[in-house]
Structure 1
Amino acid sequence: MHPNPFTLELPEAWYRVNVWRTIDIAFSDIPYTFFIGGEKSGLASNERKNRYRTLANVNPIQRKVIGKKGDGYVRVFGSIPTDWAASEAGSKWEGNHGTKLIKECGMSLPRTLKDILVNLAYKIKFSEDKLRKLNIVGFIHSGAVLIRTNLDCPAGYVCRYTRGEAFEVHANVNKFSESLDVLIEILQILQTMKVVDSGAASEQEHHNITRWKRQNKLKRSDVATIPDCHPTPKKKR
Structure 2
Amino acid sequence: MFSSQIPSYFKKNKDWSLLSFLYFRKYANNFVANKATEHLNYKKALEIIILLDSSNRVKAERCLVRFKVEKLSESVIQFWKIVMMESIEYNYSMHALNTTIYEKSKIHEIVSDSTIAEIEQNYRCNESRIPKSLDYINDKENKRNYIPLASRDERIFKKQEDNEKGSHPLNGENRQEIEAAYKTMKKEQMWRLKSGRYVEEVLYKIGLSLTYEHNVHSFIIDAEDETVKKHFDERELEEISDASGPLVPNLSDDVIEYLKKFLNKKSIKEIRQTINEKDDRFDVDYDKEVYHDLDYIRLTIYSLVREIENAHLDCENLEQWYNCHIWNAIFDQSFGNMKEISVVRGDGCKGDWIIRTNSKGNKNEFGYGEVGKTWIDKSGIKFLREVSLKSLKTLKDMLIDLMRTCKWNPDALSKLQTVGVVHSGLVMMVIRMDNPKGYICRVNRSNIMEVPHNEENFSDILEILAAVLNLKSIVKQTMKIVDMKSVLSEKMMVETFLQAGLSNKRKHIFEIPVCTSTPKKTKSLE
Q: What's the TM-score bracket when you normalise by the shorter of the two chains?
A: 0.7 to 0.9
Structure 1 residue 178 corresponds to structure 2 residue 463 = yes
Question: Secondary structure, in 3 states, of the residue corresponding to 2:468?
Answer: helix
Alignment match, 1:205: 492
Alignment match, 1:4: 311
Is there any run of 5+ residues in structure 1 with no aligned partner, and where?
43-69
Report matched runs for 1:30-41 at 5 Å: 30-38=338-346, 40-41=348-349
Q: Distance in 2 between matches of 1:157 and 1:15?
A: 38
- Deviates most, 133-142 or 174-183: 174-183
Give the structure with the larger strand fraction: 1
1:150–1:97 distance in 2 versus 1, CA, 3 Å: same
Scaled by the length of structure 2, the TM-score of the pair is 0.35
Q: Distance in 2 between matches of 1:146 and 1:7?
A: 17
Task: Give the aligned residue type for 1:12.
Answer: E
CA deviation digits over 1:182-223, x for unaligned, max 9?
A: 21111111100111011323676348867xx744xx7xxx65
Aligned pair partner of 1:225 in 511, 521, 525: 511
Report matched runs for 1:125-140 at 5 Å: 125-140=407-422
Alignment match, 2:370: 88
Report matched runs for 1:20-39 at 5 Å: 20-21=327-328, 22-38=330-346
Does the CA contact (< 8 Å) of 1:93 and 1:143 recur in 2? no
Scaled by the length of structure 1, the TM-score of the pair is 0.75
Does the CA contact (< 8 Å) of 2:370 and 2:421 recur in 1? yes
Alignment match, 2:353: 72
Aligned-pair CA distance for 1:108:
1.3
- Deviates most, 185-194 or 200-209: 200-209
Q: Distance in 2 between matches of 1:205 and 1:138?
A: 31
Q: Which has the larger radius of gyration?
A: 2
Structure 1 residue 167 corresponds to structure 2 residue 449 = yes
Question: Secondary structure, in 3 states, of the residue corresponding to 1:141?
Answer: strand
Computed over aligned residues only, the root mean square deviation of the Cα atoms, in angstroms, reads 2.5
Aligned pair partner of 1:193 in 479, 484, 504: 479
Tell me which stretches of 4 or more aligned residues in structure 1 moved more than 4 Å: 206-210
1:208–1:119 distance in 2 versus 1, CA, 3 Å: farther
- Alignment size in residue pairs: 200
Task: Give the aligned residue type for 2:342.
Answer: F
CA deviation digits over 1:154-174, x for unaligned, max 9?
A: 226421112221111113333
Does the CA contact (< 8 Å) of 2:439 and 2:513 recur in 1? no
Is there any run of 5+ residues in structure 2 with no aligned partner, and where?
1-307
- Deviates most, 201-210 or 179-188: 201-210
1:74–1:111 distance in 2 versus 1, CA, 3 Å: same
Does the CA contact (< 8 Å) of 2:355 and 2:365 recur in 1? yes
Alignment match, 2:324: 17
1:4–1:122 distance in 2 versus 1, CA, 3 Å: same
Alignment match, 2:431: 149
Percent of matched pairs sharing the same residue? 29
Task: Give the aligned residue type for 2:316.
Answer: E
Q: Distance in 2 between matches of 1:235 and 1:163?
A: 31
Aligned-pair CA distance for 1:8:
2.2
1:33–1:203 distance in 2 versus 1, CA, 3 Å: closer
Task: Give the aligned residue type for 2:412.
Answer: K
Q: Distance in 2 between matches of 1:208 and 1:169?
A: 52
